[in-house]
Amino acid sequence: MSFDDMPNLGPFLRPGAQEYSDECIRLSRAAVPRTRNILDVPYGSDFFQKLDIFLPDRESSQPSPVLLFFHGGAWKNGFKEWMGFMAPPLVSLPAIFVSGNYRLAPTAKFPKPLDDCCDALAWVWRNISAHGGDPGRIFVGGHSSGGHIAALATLRPELLVARGLPRDCVKACFALSAAFNLERKSSGPLRAPVLDLVLENGDDGSQATPLNFVRGNRIPFYIAYGTEDLPELIGENERMIELLRHENCALEHHVFEKNSHFDTNIGCANLNGPWVQTVRKWMASPPRAAKS
């Protein structure tokens, strides 16, 4: 897949999403020629199971930390090509930035997006050393629905162990304006049309809800969202922060003033912005995951 062959996935579900998509693509088109990269690397056989790998500006004598990041789009829209603009302020650390695709609803219902997140992580863990990355310093993150699957993969390490990965292969999760509650009974009316696309008929969404898997977590979390974010997301993020505070894990969170759901992600282009600065700090010297 490239900028010129992204399939039409139908209308966006949120106001402002088309403009956000256009801006992501504009910024990412400009970022690709300014970075060292390997594009469209398959981690599975499906058209959408591909990664874009952005490498440090210069080869390093030491293996670099790695961030595997997933795009948003309400589980039915979006492409890894949206996120290329995030690479320049991160690869200069030096670090490796990997933007991941995953299969989308309604063709691919839950848990297929989560399966793809875990399979992409397994590919990175097994292969990133060939590109100068450190498999012992892999971070995951995502925006919106991408933050949802990244958080769920982090909180369900048994899914990673089943793929032959170490239980603690994720060193931290960076969830940006992420969805944490997909239960039909409590996620709110604004998300109901989305859940009809994402969940199987009759599925109550409990297995797709990160809030249900926080107990016992030891992996550090950095959670951020905007004061003008989607209303249902603000409450979910507040609840996730509250739950994580009761666990034996490092936790940091930011609420970005006057940022919309889309502003929080576009702000990741800014080297001096709070999100990039926090992620760079964590990747350079990550908080330790607590002992089980």
pLDDT truncated to tens, each residue of the chain (292 aa)? 467 777 888 888 888 999 999 999 999 999 999 999 999 999 999 999 999 999 999 888 899 999 999 999 999 999 999 999 999 999 999 999 999 999 999 999 999 999 999 999 999 999 999 999 999 999 999 999 999 999 999 999 999 999 999 999 999 999 999 999 999 988 777 788 889 999 998 899 999 999 999 999 999 999 999 999 999 999 999 999 999 999 999 999 999 999 999 999 999 999 999 999 999 999 999 888 776 5
Rounded Cα gap, residues 23 and 233, in angstroms: 22
Domain 17-284 indexed as CATH 1.10.10.60: no
List % helix, strand, coil for the chain (3-state, nearest 5). 40, 20, 40
The pTM assigned to this predicted structure is 0.96
Q: Where are the domains of the chain?
A: 17-284
Rounded Cα gap, residues 237 and 255, in angstroms: 10
Angle 145-155/112-127 helices, nearest 10 degrees? 70
Are β-strands 133-143 and 64-70 bridged in parallel, bridged antiparallel, or unpaired?
parallel
Question: Residues 39-53, buried b or exposed e (16+ Cβ, 10 A)?
Answer: bebebbebebbbbbb
Read off φ and ψ for residue 279, nearest 5 degrees: -65, -40
